Structure 1
Amino acid sequence: MAEAESDTITTQVPSRLDRLPWSRFHWRVVIGLGSVWILDGLEVTMVGNVAARLTEDGSGLDISAGQIGVAGAIYIVGACLGALVFGQLTDRLGRKKLFLWTLVLYLVATVATAFSFSPWYFFLCRFLTGAGIGGEYAAVNSAIDELIPARARGRVDLIINGSYWLGSAAGSALSLVLLSTALLPIDLGWRLAFGFGAVLGICVLFVRRHVPESPRWLFIHGREEEAERIVRGIEEGIEEERGEELPPAEGSLTIRQRKAIPFREIASVAFRKYPRRSILCLALFLGQAFLYNGITFNLGVLLSSFYDVGASLTPLFIIFWALSNFAGPVLLGHFFDSVGRKPMIALAYFGSAAVTLPLAWVFLSQTGGLTAFMILLVITFFLASSGASAAYLTVSEIFPMETRALAIAFFYALGTAAGGIAGPLLFGSLIDTGERMPVAIGFLIAAAVMSLGGVAELVFGVRAEGRELEDLAAPLTAQEDDGPGDGETERGAGETGERA
């Protein structure tokens, strides 16, 4: 290990990782790291489904409907703050430490939630749970992109982010059983619901322990010998699995190692050197956060208020809707690697906005009833889910290695704090009027916000498909003497490090 912070090394670690064929190792990464979105979907949906039960007499928790809304806001605040705090630590201390620490925090907080006895205790548990999930976003997204080969990075990232909706569907299905008073006492079922999330998290923790630290992070921070050992171990495992030697890697990267990089320098490079990319990521996150949080948090109320769907049947509609959200990234994901990021992200944002227009008309005119409304809602979010997943993919690809986790955390926190709070508040107040016209206007506003994301992608989008992360944005340690960094060439910024 290099002791000096200014040692210069030439490494093939990035090209060796990107030329690897798909293997059991990559499946371990996907399962061990990608399952965080299933946990998040399970958490958010479970709380939404048990909310009514918590307010009932005999639930064991004296909490009102208004306080449930406060708990939801506190969860979002925790997620935003957790993303920012743990995102910075992820860039400083490494991916593995943080994706283990944040999962442990989530587990402890979730178990603690099951033992809630008063509103203040419930609020505290929801804040800590959100902090764990927010930290997961930063640590896990950065680690996934640094371990998955470039040619498959787009589709894998989209499917992993889209798996949130598998958790949402599972949460709705579980609530049908756990909230049945014919099967479980009124004060026990909702507690077991939180306990199930903890059990799933423990299983993920065991798998995750075997996922290595990012070799890309290691060689930049003066631990090139450890990076080489990890990559060599991965290669040997794949050669044994396939029964043949891997082809030699092409290309190398020369960097100046630094064990610590000041936060001031990271922020300056990320947001002054790449202002166009920052605008792009902000627009993408705002659009998807506004649309998704606005409708997700209010879909049950909307169905019951305007289509007379009973509380016992609402989870069935949410399961159907959630599965359509997961289908979007699964069926469209490979096009983000073949057709390209820019056209597909623009299609996802503009397409979902376009379908929202007839959705608003069907809702307002009541044409086709609940069936027509649900069909158009499913199509809207089939497209929107790919766009939402692509927002995470974009921000995790187009910033330098040393800022990657922090950039994910920053745009997630800002987008969620703005769109994730404004969306639910707007739709909630419009639904509360009891009139269809204000709600239809809300759909049109959501369409406009999504369209802004599509415009930003067309203007500022980066063609990242199939390219090494170091080509998209060279590490800061390889950018000592570079020039303009934001979209100055056809291949985009970041091609300024020394590559052989």
Structure 2
Amino acid sequence: MRTTRPTRNERLDRLPFTREHRRLLVGSGVGWALDAMDVGLISFVMAALAVQWELGDTELSLIGSIGFVGMALGASLGGLLADRVGRRNVFAVTLLVYGLATGASALATSVGALLALRFVVGLGLGSELPVASTLVSEYAPARIRGRLVVILEAFWAVGWLAAALIGYFVVSDTANGWRWALALGAVPALYAIYVRRGLPESVRFLESQGRHAEAEAAVRRFEESAPVFVTARTAGGTSVAPPADGREEDGPEEDGREEDGPEDGGRADSAPAREAAPGRRGLLAIWAPALRTRTTGLWLVWFFLNFAYYGAFTWLPTLLLASGLDLVRSFGYTVIITAAQLPGYATAAYLIERWGRRPTLASFLVGAAAASYLFAVAGTPSAVITAGCLLSFFALGAWGALYAVTPEMYPTAVRAGGAGWAAGFGRIASILAPLAVPLLNRAGDLWLVFTAFAASFVVAAGGALLLAERRGLALDD
């Protein structure tokens, strides 16, 4: 009887966490952190320009929203491009685009010029985020895939904290501090060179393009890399090498099951995903009957999480300033609140492989809703900081879980595109949120603003319940 050998993707799933995995995670994570730094900086720039350029709510709302217009378009186009020209190539190009545009923003002398450059920045940012998470997801072993993507998303907190520190020490320090802050945002343009040369292309993408020799070389690169954590399981090796000529014999059908995965496995749910992609790409594929429910759930979560998160955090320094705090104190509070994102990510990274994707995501969204309401009724500085820290903890933990679950909902042919469309639809909410905050604030002060955010988190939690549970299962091809 002819023996069968594992496919390349099965070989990747059987690997321990190696130094190559760490290199990919950190390399993608640095790009992610630079994204967050750019998005975070604009909230501090808005607070400074409100004073220096004497801008009203309308101009500030446009500055806060225009980048998200670009992100909405960029997320959709970036995902589609990544399914056609490769994850790594799109990742590098988007870093270059938004890095150069951010640096140029430092030279803006009018609101119009700043708006045009922020739109270009948004194009790059929106394209990059779903592509980076897809690349990491496609290399991560199934049993720890969710955890690694949450750790990737945790780099967002590092970047946002860097933005808060730059806001505190640079933006508030001098009249042109906001220009120096934006100039620092040009760093991603340089980092794009490393991404293009140092990170591997997705094996699944290479195979879908018939580039089997490159795919084999990429798998061997990970198989030959030393484990980061040597245990009894990894000491003897976990991968099975293919024949010497690099060709693979016909293997068994992918079961996708890991020894530590869920017993119910979600196996019945994986079949529709595999049946949905042939002959279709793009938007039609992800709304095929087999994928319609999970796409609906994803779009709900992405939309309402974007609305609540960006509405709150884009305006936070300005809202604190309007409540009577001076510029330096409002930035200082924001630094403290931002720091609470890190334990939120750490907790989500642990729970996502213990509880599963769906319960972790839904629980953190409910927690964010409760924290938003606490912020709405907070009446003292200590209450504001406490509620803000809880909001950071739960909202960013939810973001980590969402980025982990999104690529798992789709087969390889439409994975980046599906993730990009979900992110792009969500960015519509991030456009609306900064515009809605001044209206809500005038109608009912901070109470109405954060009560609306609490309601958005609750709707997002409902959307999370529509998602398929993929803990411990191989990605669909």
TM-score (norm 2): 0.84
Select which of 10, 13, 16 maps to 1:21. 16
Distance 1:263-1:381 versus aligned 2 partners, 3 A rule? farther
Return the offset for 1:264. Answer: 5.0
Cα distance in 2 for partners of 1:315, 1:201 equals: 27
CA distances 1:393-420 after superposition (whole Å, capped 9, x unpaired): 2221111111111111111111120x21
* TM alignment of 1:25-104, pairs within 5 A: 25-54=20-49, 66-104=58-96
CA distances 1:214-238 after superposition (whole Å, capped 9, x unpaired): 1111112111121011111221233
Residue 348 (structure 1) aligned with residue 359 (structure 2): no
User: Residue 31 of structure 1 contacts residue 207 of structure 1 at CA under 8 Å; is this kept in 2?
Assistant: no
Aligned-partner residue type, residue 206 of structure 2: L
Distance 1:240-1:305 versus aligned 2 partners, 3 A rule? closer
User: Residue 219 of structure 1 contacts residue 227 of structure 1 at CA under 8 Å; is this kept in 2?
Assistant: yes
Distance 1:65-1:456 versus aligned 2 partners, 3 A rule? closer
User: Residue 148 of structure 2 contacts residue 349 of structure 2 at CA under 8 Å; is this kept in 1?
Assistant: yes
Cα distance in 2 for partners of 1:351, 1:180 equals: 32
Task: Show the counterpart of 1:312.
Answer: 328
* TM alignment of 1:170-319, pairs within 5 A: 170-181=162-173, 186-187=175-176, 189-199=177-187, 201-203=189-191, 205-206=193-194, 209-238=197-226, 246-249=237-240, 252=252, 264-272=280-288, 273-306=290-323, 308-319=324-335
Select which of 406, 423, 432 maps to 1:422. 432
Residue 448 (structure 1) aligned with residue 455 (structure 2): yes
User: Residue 146 of structure 2 contacts residue 405 of structure 2 at CA under 8 Å; is this kept in 1?
Assistant: no
Task: Show the counterpart of 2:130.
Answer: 138
Cα distance in 2 for partners of 1:125, 1:171 equals: 19
Task: Show the counterpart of 2:396.
Answer: 385
Task: Show the counterpart of 1:397.
Answer: 408
Cα distance in 2 for partners of 1:240, 1:51 equals: 43
Return the offset for 1:444. Answer: 2.6
Cα distance in 2 for partners of 1:150, 1:129 equals: 34
CA distances 1:348-382 after superposition (whole Å, capped 9, x unpaired): 1222223434443x33xx3xx12123212322331
User: Residue 42 of structure 2 contacts residue 314 of structure 2 at CA under 8 Å; is this kept in 1?
Assistant: no
Return the offset for 1:276. Answer: 0.6
Select which of 157, 160, 163 maps to 1:165. 157
Distance 1:179-1:290 versus aligned 2 partners, 3 A rule? closer
Cα distance in 2 for partners of 1:193, 1:328 equals: 27
Q: Which runs of 5+ in 1 are unaligned?
A: 1-8, 255-260, 476-500
CA distances 1:163-217 after superposition (whole Å, capped 9, x unpaired): 2222122112112332355xx5x34x32221222223552464255211111111
Select which of 466, 469, 487 maps to 2:472. 466
User: Residue 310 of structure 2 contacts residue 433 of structure 2 at CA under 8 Å; is this kept in 1?
Assistant: yes
User: Residue 46 of structure 2 contacts residue 64 of structure 2 at CA under 8 Å; is this kept in 1?
Assistant: no
Q: Identity rate of aligned residues, in percent?
A: 28
Secondary structure of 2:223's aligned partner: helix
Cα distance in 2 for partners of 1:358, 1:121 equals: 38
Aligned-partner residue type, residue 74 of structure 1: I
Q: Which runs of 5+ in 2 are unaligned?
A: 242-250, 255-276
Secondary structure of 1:321's aligned partner: helix
Secondary structure of 1:21's aligned partner: coil
User: Residue 84 of structure 1 contacts residue 413 of structure 1 at CA under 8 Å; is this kept in 2?
Assistant: yes
Residue 106 (structure 1) aligned with residue 98 (structure 2): yes
Cα distance in 1 for partners of 2:337, 2:227 equals: 42
User: Residue 28 of structure 1 contacts residue 207 of structure 1 at CA under 8 Å; is this kept in 2?
Assistant: no
Return the offset for 1:65. Answer: 6.4
Cα distance in 1 for partners of 2:199, 2:100 equals: 21
Aligned-partner residue type, residue 430 of structure 1: L
CA distances 1:278-307 after superposition (whole Å, capped 9, x unpaired): 11101211221111111112212322333x
Distance 1:444-1:174 versus aligned 2 partners, 3 A rule? closer
Return the offset for 1:52. Answer: 4.2
CA distances 1:73-100 after superposition (whole Å, capped 9, x unpaired): 2211111111111211100111111111
Distance 1:10-1:404 versus aligned 2 partners, 3 A rule? farther
User: Residue 154 of structure 1 contacts residue 334 of structure 1 at CA under 8 Å; is this kept in 2?
Assistant: no
Task: Show the counterpart of 2:111.
Answer: 119
Larger RCO (alpha carbons 8 Å, 6+ apart): 2
Task: Show the counterpart of 2:257.
Answer: none
User: Residue 90 of structure 1 contacts residue 138 of structure 1 at CA under 8 Å; is this kept in 2?
Assistant: no
Instruction: Give the aligned length.
Output: 439
